[in-house]
């Protein structure tokens, strides 16, 4: 048990830095808050965290080793992730002239889950990072614990961003904030193509 705790403590600063880098999940939560509302954005946050947990389970069960073992597997994920981030960033910068729509929070959860599961940045991170911190003697459970920590930190960050942006997500300010977020995500995607 002490080993697992020390593993989680060692992983915390790394995963914190990871979630601070803007990505598709963050952009989706922000965009959902602007277009649909805060309740749906909170549900989208839960969906993105569930997507992180799903990829962590996949890595714990051996999918990560399979992808890493394929020739060019990690590079393919990196390129797909970068292109997806550029596309999501451009999508966020498109002008919207609608007012927030009424939608059930469950739609936010499902959208968050779908975006996270299909966003190649998530599996790339899971495949390349989780095994580095996983305890060999704990195997699957160790990787699952790391995934839960990652999902919790990512969810907390998205909720904190929503809280800080409260009152600024309506009208033109919200659209401007979403466009700035889109520009940042595009930049991160371009950097991913260059490395």
| Domain residue ranges of the chain, discontinuous segments joined by + | 23-194
Residue-wise pLDDT tens digits, 4-63: 788 889 999 999 999 998 777 888 888 788 777 888 899 999 999 999 999 999 989 887
Residue 127 Cα to chain centre, angstroms: 14
pLDDT at residue 105, as a whole number = 62
Residue-wise pLDDT tens digits, 67-111: 667 788 777 777 877 787 788 778 777 766 555 555 666 678 988
Q: Residue 190's pLDDT band (boundaries 50, 70, 90)?
A: confident
Distance CA 195, CA 180 (A): 23
Distance CA 123, CA 54 (A): 10
């Amino acid at each position: 048990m002490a080993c697992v705790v020390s593993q989680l403590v060692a992983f915390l600063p790394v995963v914190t830095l990871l979630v601070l880098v803007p990505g598709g999940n963050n952009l989706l939560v922000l965009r959902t808050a602007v277009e649909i509302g805060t309740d749906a954005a909170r549900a989208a946050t839960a969906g993105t965290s569930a997507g992180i947990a799903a990829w962590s389970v996949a890595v714990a069960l051996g999918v990560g080793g399979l992808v890493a073992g394929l020739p060019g597997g990690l590079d393919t994920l990196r390129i797909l992730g970068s292109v997806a981030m550029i596309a999501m960033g451009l999508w966020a910068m498109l002008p919207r002239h609608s007012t927030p729509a009424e939608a059930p929070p469950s739609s936010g959860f499902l959208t968050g889950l779908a975006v996270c599961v299909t966003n190649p940045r998530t599996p790339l991170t899971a495949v390349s990072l989780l095994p580095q911190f996983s305890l060999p003697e704990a195997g699957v459970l160790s990787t699952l614990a790391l995934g839960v920590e990652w999902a919790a930190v990512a969810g907390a960050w998205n909720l904190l961003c929503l809280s800080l942006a409260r009152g600024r997500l309506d009208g033109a300010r919200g659209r401007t904030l979403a466009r700035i977020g889109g520009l940042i995500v595009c930049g991160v995607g371009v950097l991913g193509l260059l490395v």
